[in-house]
Structure 1
């Protein structure tokens, strides 16, 4: 962020990051589809999601006030962390969260396509902070924490603060694209496009994986067990699914 701005009073800018990832997999039979959903549901249960979010909170220099988490039937999980920029003592004995200034949430949605034998795992993460903390520094960590085929990211700064001379400041850090905050090595693996509204401090980036290694998308199936035409059909369905999600 460079040299810090000298502000008058409290920095009340609100920064919101919405991070959505999609992971696509091929599961041949109805049983394999159910097994995949069960596998993903266990891999990304509320306990692991809590660990990911608490690490994220530590990386942006915030303090966890409290945690609410829940696993669902037949699948899915949610976690909410209520955080503050300054150290505080949690109140009460119940493991539910109450925000001082900011919050982090995650929700998972495993599901499968009824006709193409494709299963999709969607994760939605929202980070809202106030003041000088920006959640953009967590993007590489979030991308690395999940198998991400398609990624959509929204970042918006709302409100204003003041400089010492009283001038209103509607942004306290320079940004022209969310991609500036993503490791170049990560960006090389994806096709990425931006849709930004600079006058509203609204930034949107979409990313789709470039190369597909079919073996990585097969659940309980070896690629060499499949005839060439079947491989081609699976690859076509995988890419079509990704493109439809990517373009909305």
Structure 2
């Protein structure tokens, strides 16, 4: 078994797992189209997407810094979660009561990276073709890897087509100062 790479200093090696998930169906009548919109709004609303991404944070071993979510009219949703590799401890100035009340959220923007999901449901007004696209990005720095969430994410969406892209950018240094452009193995 290969030993773990011992890192030194700041690690700017960014690993990003990107998904595009597509679902296509035929919704001929206005009632079918309305039922499709209701299905999308129920199954893929901001609350459910937040639950999915929160589980991803647990799977990859990250910590949540902040969550922003939004449902759109007539359909669609977006969620962004800022994450850190280590727990974030507030500074004295962040927990001091004067001159005003404590903030509800203590945010270190941007400690490690983020996880985002955006949905794009569409219905052709004449042809009855209904499509649903979900874009998901899990972007991390440090030792946490987005690949740990791969199977979980694929199984959270009822989809016809899935495209996956994995990118590694930047570099890190070992304790001897040597640059490394990859810090983990990938098993297919």
| Length-normalised TM-score, structure 1 | 0.66
Aligned counterparts, 1:23-172, within 5 A: 23-89=23-89, 92-93=103-104, 98-172=109-183
**Deviations along 1:121-152, whole A, 9 cap, x unmatched?**
11111111101111011110001100121111
The Cα shift of 1:34 comes to: 2.2
Taking the aligned partners of 2:169 and 2:119, their CA distance within structure 1 comes to 27
Larger RCO (CA under 8 A, 6+ residues apart): 2
1:172-206 CA-to-partner distances (Å, cap 9, x unmatched) read: 11238xxx1xxxxxxxxxxxxxxxxxxxxxxxxxx
* Runs of 4+ with >4 A deviation: 94-97
How many angstroms does 1:116 deviate by?
4.1
CA distance in 1, matches of 2:24, 2:72: 21
Q: How does 1:8-19 map to 2 (within 5 A)?
A: 8-19=8-19
Closer/same/farther in 2, CA of residues 12 and 94 from structure 1, 3 Å limit? closer
- The DSSP-based 3-state class of the residue aligned with 1:93 is coil
CA RMSD of aligned residues (A): 2.2
Structure 2, unmatched stretches of 5+, are 95-102
Cα distance between partner residues in 1 of 2:175 and 2:59: 29
After TM superposition, give the deviation of residue 8 of structure 1 in Å. 2.3
State the secondary structure of the residue aligned to 1:65: strand
SS at match of 2:8: coil
Task: Tell me if structure 2 keeps the 8 A contact 1:112–1:119.
Answer: yes
- Structure-2-length-normalised TM-score: 0.85
1:3-39 deviation line (CA, Å, top 9, x unaligned): 3112222322111121110112222212211221122
Contact 2:27 2:130 in 1 (8 A): yes
Aligned residues: 177
Structure having the larger proportion of residues in helix:
1
State the alpha-carbon separation in 2 of the partners of residues 6 and 16 from structure 1. Answer: 21
- Does structure 2 retain, via aligned residues, the 8 Å contact 1:21–1:123? yes
- Tell me by how many angstroms 1:95 deviates: 9.8
Q: SS at 2:165's partner residue? A: strand
After superposition, the Cα gap between the structure-2 partners of 1:148 and 1:98, relative to the gap in structure 1 and judged at 3 Å, is same
